[in-house]
A and B are shown apart, each in its own frame.
Chain A
Amino acid sequence: MEDKVVLTMRGITMTFPGVKALDHVDFTLRKGEIHALMGENGAGKSTLIKCLTGVHDFEFGEIRVDGIEEPIRNHSTMDAQRRGISTVYQEVNLCPNLSVAENLFIGREPLTKAHTIDRKAIVKRAQKLAEEFELNLDVQQTMGSYSLALQQMIAIARAVDMDCKILILDEPTSSLDDNEVSKLFTLMRRLRDQGVGIIFVTHFLEQVYEVCDRITVLRNGQLVGEYPVTALPRVKLIAAMMGKDIDDLAKIKPEACENRCGDMLIDAKGLGHTGKIKPFDLNIRQGEVVGLTGLLGSGRSELARVIYGADRPQTGTLKVKDKPAHVARPIDAMKLGMGMLPDDRKAEGIIDDLSIRENIILAMQAQQGMLKLIPYKEQCEIADKYIALLDIKTASRETPLKQLSGGNQQKVIIARWLATNPDFLILDEPTRGIDIGTKTEIQKLIIKLAEEGKSILFISSEIEEMLRTCNRLAVLRDGEKVGELSGDMTQESVMHAIAGGEKG
C-alpha cells in the first residue's frame, strides 16, 4: 500500500433490483486527512459507505486497508470495527438510558478477576477519555441528558478508543448549531493531526471548505472526481454535483409573470422552525411558479413543509389571499386550498396497500370528512380521469399501489393532489426517479396549471427543469433562504447563487 494511504476502494460496483447504485467507483483515503464525500440524492454516497462497513455485500471491486495484506470484505459493522473502521451516524448510535461511561464500553466492558464488570475501571477510563477530548461532563450521568452535539463527540470518542484508523462521520452537523459545529471541527482536526483518516459525508458547502482537505464527488452512482479542496472553487463543485442535463427536451420557456400572474396568494413573513429552516420571507402570486433551489439539505423541503404545516411554524406569520392564516397541520393548509407532494414518497406519499383509486381520492376524501363518502362511481370516474391524463401504466384502478413502478406511483400521488383542485400546489422533487418521458409531461403539466391560474412551489435538484418552468427562483443554502433570482436566469447564474462566497 502506498505510503500515507490508509484506505483504497477500487472499482466498487453494487446493483439493486432495477438500479445500478454504484458503477466502478474508486475512493482513496490518506492518513491524517479529512475527506469530504459529496453527491446529491441517489449519487451513491451512503451505498459506498455501507459497502465499506459491511452493511452491503458489493458485487465487484476491491477494498484494501493499510496494515492488512489481503483485500478485505466486511460482513458486518463489527467486522469493520475490528479492522479499525468506525462510523458515527446522523442519529447517534448510543443508548440514551445508560451513562456516558457505560456507553463508551458497551460490549467490551473491562472485567475483574471474578468476571464481573469492573465499574470503577469503566468510570476511570471514561473520565480519562473525556479529558482527552476536552469534554467537560460527568461520565456517570445518563447519555440522554446531554445535547446531541455532546452525544456525537462521545460516539467519536468511543470509536477512537477502539483504535479506529478510519472514522466515517455521516452527516454529523445536520442538527448542530454553529458553536457545536466549530467544537466538532476542532476535535476532527485533532484526530486528523493524530493520523486518523476521516470521511466526512455532508451537504453543507461552507463546512466542506472550512475543514476538509480533499473532496470526492459522486453522481448517479459514478465517480465524478477527487479534488484537493484548494483546487476546487465552489461553482465547479456545484457543477460536478448537479451536472449538466444530458436530456434534449424541447425548450419550454414559461411566459413572463407580469402578463399573467394575479394577486398575492401566499405571503409568508419570518416563518421558521428551529433546527430545520431559519426564518424566511416568501411570497407567491396567483398563477406564478416559484422554484426552490439549492443543494440537498439546504432547507428546501423544510421551507415548503413549514408553509404547508407539515412542520409546525414556530415563528412568523402567513397570509393566504391577504387574510391571516393559521396553519398548524396539513388539514389546515388543505382547507385553504393548498396541497403538497412530499419528496420522500415512500415514507410520506404512498399508502401502498390501498388501491390506485383509493390513493387518488385520498386527499379529496379528507377534505370532505369521514361522514361524506365520495360515491364509488364518482371515485372510479376521477381515478380513470387521472389515469388517462397522467398516463399511469396500470392494468386496473384497483391494483394496490405497491405493485406499481416508482414513476407511476409518483404520478398517482400527483393525481391525488390535482383531484383536490388546489389553488397552491407544492411539488417537492416530483421528477426524481422518473423516466425522461414522464419528466417532460410533468414539466408541461406545471406550466399548464400555472396558465390555469394555480400557483406552484417547485423544488428540484435539476436546475434545467426549474429554468424551464419557473418564473422566479428562491435560493437556499445551509438551512436558510439566501436570495432570489428572476428574469433572465441561466444555469451558471443559478449555480453561482447557490455557491455564494468569494472563493471562485
Chain B
Amino acid sequence: MKQIRKITKMRLFLPIFSMVLVMAINMIYDVANGNVFYNFFTISIRNGLLYGRLIDILNRGSEAAILAIGMTLVVSSSAGVDISVGSVMSLAGGMCCMLLAGFGNANVSQYAMPLWVGLLAGLAVACLCGAFNGFLVSYLNIQPMVATLILFSAGRAIGLLMCNSTIVYIREPSFQFLGGYLGPIPTPIIVAILCITVMSLILKYTALGMYVQSVGINAKAARIAGYQSRRIIFTTFVICGLLAGIAGLVATSRIYSADTNNIGLNFELDAILAVALGGNSLGGGKFRLSGSIIGAYTIQAITTTLYALGVSSAQAPVFKAVIVILIVTIQSPAVKAVMAKRAAAKEVAARKGAVGV
C-alpha cells in the first residue's frame, strides 16, 4: 500500500499514467481488430517520409505542446489561464499571410515580401497580444481569464479583417516548410522540440523557473525577498503570446493558408488541459514543464484514439470535458480537505493506539 502511495505522489504520475492508459487502450483496440498489438507503435517510411500513428500524434500535437509551454508559465505565476492563445494563433497566421500576399490578395504563388518579414511580423503581433494581456493582468489587476477574454473574442475578427474576410492562400512552396517535412521528419515536430529545448535550457540556466514559481506560490513572501510579481507575470504572458505566435505560424504553414476562422479553434482548452493533465495545479505555484509536454501529447493521443474509435471531431469534446472535470475535482479544495481530514484522523488514531488509550 505504501509503495503505491509513493508512486502516486510522484509529480509526473498523472501525465505518465494517462499516457500509458491511452496506449493501453490503443493496443487493446489493435488486438481486437486483428492487428499486432504493437501496431500503434510501428513506424515506417513511405515516399521518404516517416509514417505511423505515433508520428501522427507527435506531428499533430506539436501546436498543443508549444502552447502548453507558455500556458504552464502563465498558470504557475498568475493562477489564471490565457484563453486567447487560439485566437492569437489565428491572428499571427493572418498577419503573416496578409503581408506575404500583399493586402487584398487572396491567392498568390509569389511572395509580396520576403518570407522572414512575414514570419517576424506574425511573431511580433503575437508578442504584442501577450503584452496586452500581461498589462491588463499585472498592472490593472484584472483576472487573467477575463483579460484574455477580450482577445479571445476579438483576435479572430481582427485577423479576418486583415485578410479582407477571405482565406488567403500562399502557394509558394517554400511557405509550407514549417508545416511540411524536413527530410523524413515532419517539421512541426522539430519546431516543437526546438521550443521545448530552448525553454528547458532557459529554465535550467536562468532563474526564470524560480522567479515564476516563487511568485506563484507566495507572492507576498517573494516580494519581501525582492521579487516583483508584476514584472514576472507580465513576462509570462508575453512568452505565452510569443509561443502562440509560433504555433500559429506552424498551423498556417500546414494548410499554407490563413483560415482565420478555424486555425487554433479550441486549442486553448487543449493547452489548459495539458497543463492540468501534466500534474500542475491550476491554482498556480510549482510546475513541471515535462508534465505539461507529456500532457499535451497525451491529449493528442486521446483525440486520435477517439477518432480511431469512430468518435467524430465534433463529439470528441465530450470526453475531454469529462477528463477535465475528473482532474480538477481531484485537485479541488473540497476533496483535498476531505483527504486531509482522513489523514489527520488516521494520525490521531495511530497516536492513540501507540499511547494505548
Do the two chains touch directly in the complex (Cβ atoms below 8 Å apart)? yes
Q: Please give the residue numbers on chain A whose beta carbons come within 8 Å of chain B beta carbons, in ascending order.
A: 17, 310, 329-331, 334, 340, 342, 347-354, 358, 362-363, 365-374, 416
Excluding A347-B218, A352-B218, A365-B207, 9 further A-B contacts by CB distance (< 8 Å) are A310-B224, A329-B223, A349-B224, A350-B218, A351-B222, A353-B286, A354-B286, A363-B226, A374-B207
Between A and B, 29 residue pairs with Cβ closer than 8 Å are A310-B224, A329-B223, A330-B224, A330-B225, A331-B226, A331-B227, A331-B228, A334-B226, A340-B224, A342-B224, A347-B221, A348-B220, A348-B224, A349-B224, A351-B217, A351-B221, A352-B218, A353-B286, A354-B286, A363-B225, A363-B226, A366-B225, A367-B226, A368-B207, A370-B207, A372-B206, A372-B207, A373-B206, A374-B207
B226 touches A17 (CB 8 A): no
B210 touches A362 (CB 8 A): yes
Question: Does B213 sit within 8 A of A, measured CB to CB?
Answer: yes
Question: Does B252 sit within 8 A of A, measured CB to CB?
Answer: no
Q: Please, what's the 1-or-0 string for B325-350, where 1 marks a CB less than 8 Å from any CB in chain A?
A: 00000000000000000001001000
Question: Does B208 sit within 8 A of A, measured CB to CB?
Answer: yes
CA distance A354 to B205 in the complex (A): 18
Question: Does B214 sit within 8 A of A, measured CB to CB?
Answer: yes
Cβ of A354: which chain B residues have Cβ within 8 Å of it?
A: 210, 213-214, 217, 286
Question: Does B93 sit within 8 A of A, measured CB to CB?
Answer: no
User: In this complex, which of B210, B225, B285, B286 has the most chain A Cβ atoms within 10 angstroms of its Cβ?
Assistant: B225
Cβ of A367: which chain B residues have Cβ within 8 Å of it?
A: 226
B207 touches A373 (CB 8 A): yes
B221 touches A349 (CB 8 A): yes
B228 touches A370 (CB 8 A): no
A351 touches B218 (CB 8 A): yes
Cβ of B227: which chain A residues have Cβ within 8 Å of it?
A: 331, 366
CA distance A17 to B346 in the complex (A): 13
Question: Does B13 sit within 8 A of A, measured CB to CB?
Answer: no
Q: A334-B226, A363-B226 in contact; A348/B221 too (CB < 8 A)?
A: yes
Q: Count of B residues near A, CB < 8 Å?
A: 23
CA distance A331 to B226 in the complex (A): 4
Cβ of A342: which chain B residues have Cβ within 8 Å of it?
A: 221, 224
Q: A347-B221, A363-B225, A367-B226 in contact; A353/B213 too (CB < 8 A)?
A: yes
Min C-beta distance of A464 to chain B, whole Å: 28
A362 touches B214 (CB 8 A): yes
Cβ of A17: which chain B residues have Cβ within 8 Å of it?
A: 344, 347
Question: Does B211 sit within 8 A of A, measured CB to CB?
Answer: yes
Min C-beta distance of B228 to chain A, whole Å: 7
Selected from B220, B226, B286, B347, the residue in CB contact (under 8 A) with A366 is B226
Within 8 A of A (CB), among B279-313: 285-286
Q: Residue of B at shortest CB range from A334?
A: B226
A351 touches B214 (CB 8 A): yes
User: In this complex, which of A330, A340, A366, A369 has the most chain B Cβ atoms within 10 angstroms of its Cβ?
Assistant: A366
User: In this complex, which of B207, B218, B226 has the most chain A Cβ atoms within 10 angstroms of its Cβ?
Assistant: B226
CA distance A331 to B231 in the complex (A): 13
User: In this complex, which of B213, B227, B286 has the most chain A Cβ atoms within 10 angstroms of its Cβ?
Assistant: B227
Cβ of A368: which chain B residues have Cβ within 8 Å of it?
A: 207
A329 touches B228 (CB 8 A): yes
Q: Residue of A at shortest CB range from B348?
A: A17
Cβ of B347: which chain A residues have Cβ within 8 Å of it?
A: 17
Min C-beta distance of B339 to chain A, whole Å: 16
CA distance A347 to B222 in the complex (A): 10
B218 touches A362 (CB 8 A): no
Closest 6 CB pairs of A and B: A366-B226, A331-B226, A353-B286, A363-B225, A334-B226, A373-B207
CA distance A342 to B222 in the complex (A): 12
Min C-beta distance of B239 to chain A, whole Å: 12
CA distance A365 to B218 in the complex (A): 16
Min C-beta distance of B196 to chain A, whole Å: 19
Cβ of B218: which chain A residues have Cβ within 8 Å of it?
A: 347-348, 350-352
Min C-beta distance of A24 to chain B, whole Å: 20
Cβ of A351: which chain B residues have Cβ within 8 Å of it?
A: 213-214, 217-218, 221-222
Q: Residue of B at shortest CB range from A376?
A: B204
CA distance A369 to B286 in the complex (A): 20
Cβ of B217: which chain A residues have Cβ within 8 Å of it?
A: 351-354
CA distance A352 to B225 in the complex (A): 14
Q: Please, what's the 1-or-0 string for B186-225, where 1 marks a CB less than 8 Å from any CB in chain A?
A: 0000000000000000000111101101100110111111
A370 touches B208 (CB 8 A): yes
Within 8 A of A (CB), among B75-99: none
Cβ of B206: which chain A residues have Cβ within 8 Å of it?
A: 370-373
Cβ of B225: which chain A residues have Cβ within 8 Å of it?
A: 330, 362-363, 366, 416
Q: Please, what's the 1-or-0 string for B151-193, where 1 marks a CB less than 8 Å from any CB in chain A?
A: 0000000000000000000000000000000000000000000
Selected from B210, B220, B224, B226, the residue in CB contact (under 8 A) with A358 is B210
CA distance A372 to B220 in the complex (A): 23
Min C-beta distance of B104 to chain A, whole Å: 44
Min C-beta distance of A80 to chain B, whole Å: 23
Q: Please, what's the 1-or-0 string for B244-286, where 1 marks a CB less than 8 Å from any CB in chain A?
A: 0000000000000000000000000000000000000000011
CA distance A349 to B222 in the complex (A): 8
Cβ of A365: which chain B residues have Cβ within 8 Å of it?
A: 207, 210
Cβ of A373: which chain B residues have Cβ within 8 Å of it?
A: 205-207
Cβ of B214: which chain A residues have Cβ within 8 Å of it?
A: 351, 354, 362
Min C-beta distance of A382 to chain B, whole Å: 14
CA distance A342 to B217 in the complex (A): 17
Cβ of B213: which chain A residues have Cβ within 8 Å of it?
A: 351, 353-354
Cβ of B205: which chain A residues have Cβ within 8 Å of it?
A: 373
Min C-beta distance of B134 to chain A, whole Å: 16
Min C-beta distance of B9 to chain A, whole Å: 12
CA distance A374 to B224 in the complex (A): 20
Cβ of B221: which chain A residues have Cβ within 8 Å of it?
A: 342, 347-351
Q: Residue of B at shortest CB range from A366?
A: B226
